[in-house]
Chains A and B, each alone.
Chain A
Amino acid sequence: MAAKLVFLGRLEDIAGTSELAVVPGPLEQVLAALDPALAVQLLGERVRMALNGALLGDGGGVVLVEGDELAFLPPVSGG
């Protein structure tokens, strides 16, 4: 079992995939294992995060456990 990162919108293009299985742990540790160019984009100030479908205020203190799904959400544009 692992945790899952989900990349929405333009972040999917930057990551080259819509989902990525990662080793669970503190968010900083998970991001440190990624391509630095991707990690920088994921931490952009306009990118919000949702853990298992619930929006997070900020990523501070997030620790992923097995089965968690953390989504990175760039600004939306619907309709």
Chain B
Amino acid sequence: MAPAKTDVRLLGEVFSPSDEMAAFTAAHPEAGGIVTFLGQVRCESGPGAVEALELKQYAAMTLPGMEALAAATRARWVLDGLLIIHRHGVMHPGDPIVFVAAAARHRRDAFAAADFAMDHLKSQSWFWKREKTATGWRWIEPRPDDHRDLLRW
């Protein structure tokens, strides 16, 4: 069996999840199942609608933390490949924020690995988020749900 592939990227520019999905699928013909998750900036309407979202990262910790998370995910499930892409910088409604793909021989490992990686990206990775609405920019604190999600693991 070829060594499993891990690809972790922190991007400052918009990316194409469908192109990433196509490339990841092509790179893993041995996998019987591929699970992907795409998180994107919500399109909303009304006075409280989010016009832009900014994620700040910290170079000394954010990417190293994502790489450690990928290693922990790989150690926990039998995967053929794992892809984690996370944006930083300013994003607008419809822009992709995070894309996770897990390839495995069997689907359950792929589902669980993607779910685990997402729960930890949401609540344990080094990102700080602020949103811009009609009234200006506002920092977003973590939701209690994000911490509860971690207890599942």
Contact = CB atoms under 8 A, between A and B. Distances in A.
B98 A77 contact: no
16 contacts: A8-B56, A8-B126, A8-B128, A9-B56, A50-B60, A55-B61, A77-B122, A77-B123, A77-B127, A78-B86, A78-B122, A78-B126, A78-B127, A79-B39, A79-B98, A79-B122
Contacts of A12: 56
A28 to B, nearest CB: 23
A76 B39 contact: no
Contacts of B140: 77
Interface of A: 6, 8-10, 12-13, 50, 52-53, 55, 69, 71, 73-79
Contacts of A13: 139
Interface residues of B, number: 27
Contact of A74 (B98, B121, B124, B128): B128
| 8 A-B pairs with least C-beta separation | A9-B128, A53-B60, A78-B127, A79-B122, A10-B139, A77-B129, A78-B125, A77-B142
